[in-house]
């Protein structure tokens, strides 16, 4: 396993799928290193041999070790971590706790980023509809990022929550999550800060306490290279003491005579039943990423993404949609459109040539697509195990497909 510096040959040897496919869809679901699959299969074999509950008990120390692994990734404490089934589940549990605990009263305002993901916006709109609250979009700056100064001007005592997408899934931007947290803290509004870090964790160095979010949700399957069906939630001390999750189960609370007692720490946001093989696989993926070194992963992913942007932007008719020169820093997500070939045609045509990319459509982030006046994007998202030659292959394919 890489330790001192990134050895790309070793990364690819650890990733069997990289020998079979040019996988540039890591913002969707990355190719896992073999240690992830081996860890999961080992636990499933144990369940096969001795039973699911018994295997759980036998692996309890390994399961418990996932919490400090996630904490190390986020520069937080293990007791602030909840292990759940997906990033959406993590986000929903935090948001539901705000609603259930009366933190979003009638007449309050919920502020969302202009590039917010649909699975975050829809619950906010649903809650607002039924609880007489208002959802407002924070203006974006010239690059498409959250305008922190505009946000500061919107913050007052009526703002109950601020919902931010750290790295939007439909472009290569990186919102200044720490500056947003600072603006909220100094505003005097008392607003709760919920950060969707689904696309940032695994490719960026993410310091949850420094960011200042009350909740930070993430998945295992994207840039962390873990299995599908895994995710985690970071909770601030305020979220662990002032909020009550809903609904609780016998894992997040204890039934006592005359009532119930909520568990301490992040466990209160968990439920009992989950795939422990998958949780162990996610832990293996996180340990692998930490051993590689997040700064090194970030550097290589960024370099490959910028190489792709430069090469694709040079093609006739191709427009790179990632904020242009006004974006101070961009993520490993690259998005493009073509002047004449719809993304809904281009993306599957690229995949048919053996390169995994994805199609982003307006139902993922309605406001962002409407503002740009586009109906679809081709999304390219390299990881550290990808190579410049794979990017060159993609560029050649796009050139062929879009040639007049």
Phi, psi for 225 (deg, rounded to 5): 70, 30
Residue 328: the pLDDT is 63
DSSP 25: B
The CA distances from residue 35 to 283, 383, 401, in Å, are 10, 17, 37
Q: How far apart are CA 373 and CA 138, in angstroms?
A: 19
Residue 161: beta bridge partners? 110, 192
The residues, any chain, with a CB within 8 Å of residue 349's CB and separated by 6 or more, are: 401
pLDDT averaged over 10-residue windows placed end to end, the chain, 404 residues? 73 98 98 98 98 98 98 98 96 96 95 92 92 94 93 96 95 95 94 97 97 98 98 98 95 96 96 96 98 97 96 96 70 96 97 97 86 91 98 98 88
Residue 3: the pLDDT is 40
DSSP 15: -
Q: Yes or no: say if 279 and 134 are a contact pair by the CB < 8 Å rule.
A: no
Could you write out the three-class secondary structure of 210-250? HHCCCEEEEECCCCCCCCCCCEEEEECHHHHHHCCCCCCCC
Residue 2: the pLDDT is 40
The residues, any chain, with a CB within 8 Å of residue 44's CB and separated by 6 or more, are: 277
Q: How far apart are CA 252 and CA 237, in angstroms?
A: 17
CA end-to-end span of the chain, whole Å? 46
The residues, any chain, with a CB within 8 Å of residue 131's CB and separated by 6 or more, are: 99, 104, 105, 106
Exposure class string for 341-370: b at 16+ Cβ within 10 A, else e:
bebeebbebbbeeebbbbbbbbebbebbbe
User: DSSP of 149-218, one letter per residue?
Assistant: HHHHHH-STTEEEEEEESS-TTSSB---HHHHHHHHHHHT---EEEEE-TTTBTTB---HHHHT-SEEEE
Q: How far apart are CA 145 and CA 70, in angstroms?
A: 27
Residue 353: the pLDDT is 97
Q: How far apart are CA 255 and CA 131, in angstroms?
A: 29
List, in sequence order, every beta strand (DSSP E) within 326-370: 334-338, 355-356, 358-360
| Burial of 227 (C-beta count, 10 Å sphere; 0-12/13-18/19+) | buried
What is the reported pTM?
0.95
Domains of the chain: 8-31+293-402 (3.90.1150.10), 37-290 (3.40.640.10)
């Amino acid at each position: 396993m890489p330790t001192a510096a990134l050895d790309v040959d070793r990364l690819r040897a650890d990733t069997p799928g990289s020998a079979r496919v040019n996988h540039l869809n890591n913002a969707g679901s990355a190719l896992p290193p073999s240690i992830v699959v081996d860890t999961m299969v080992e636990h499933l074999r144990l369940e096969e041999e001795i039973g699911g509950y018994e295997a759980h008990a036998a692996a309890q120390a390994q399961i418990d070790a996932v919490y400090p692994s996630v904490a190390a990734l986020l520069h937080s404490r293990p007791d602030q971590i909840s292990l759940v089934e997906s990033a959406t589940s993590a986000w929903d549990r935090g948001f539901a706790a705000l609603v259930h605990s009366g933190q979003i009263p009638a007449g309050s305002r919920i502020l969302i980023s202009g590039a917010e993901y649909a699975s975050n916006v829809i619950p906010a709109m649903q809650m607002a509809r039924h609880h007489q609250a208002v959802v407002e979009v924070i203006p974006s700056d010239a690059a498409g990022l959250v305008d922190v100064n505009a946000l500061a001007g919107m913050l007052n005592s009526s703002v109950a929550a601020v919902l931010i997408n750290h790295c939007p899934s439909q472009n290569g931007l990186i919102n200044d999550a720490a500056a947003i947290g600072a603006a909220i803290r100094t505003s005097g509004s008392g607003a709760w800060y919920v950060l969707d870090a689904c696309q940032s964790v695994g490719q960026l160095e993410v310091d949850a306490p420094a960011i200042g979010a009350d909740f930070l949700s993430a998945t295992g399957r994207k840039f962390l290279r873990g299995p599908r069906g895994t995710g985690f939630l970071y909770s601030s001390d305020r979220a662990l003491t002032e909020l009550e999750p809903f609904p609780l189960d016998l894992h997040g609370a204890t039934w006592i005579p005359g009532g119930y007692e909520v568990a301490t720490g992040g466990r209160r946001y968990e439920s009992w039943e989950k795939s422990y093989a998958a949780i162990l696989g996610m832990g293996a993926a996180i340990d692998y990423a930490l051993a590689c070194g997040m700064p090194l992963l970030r550097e290589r992913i960024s370099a490959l993404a910028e190489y792709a942007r430069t090469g694709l932007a040079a093609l006739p008719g191709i427009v790179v949609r990632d904020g242009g020169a006004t974006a101070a820093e961009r993520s490993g997500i690259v998005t493009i459109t073509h002047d004449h070939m719809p993304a809904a045609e281009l993306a599957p045509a690229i995949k048919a040539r053996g390169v995994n990319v994805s199609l982003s459509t307006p139902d993922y982030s309605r406001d962002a697509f409407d503002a740009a006046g586009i109906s679809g994007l081709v999304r390219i998202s390299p990881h550290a195990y990808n190579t410049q030659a794979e990017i060159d292959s993609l560029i050649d394919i796009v050139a062929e497909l879009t040639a007049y």
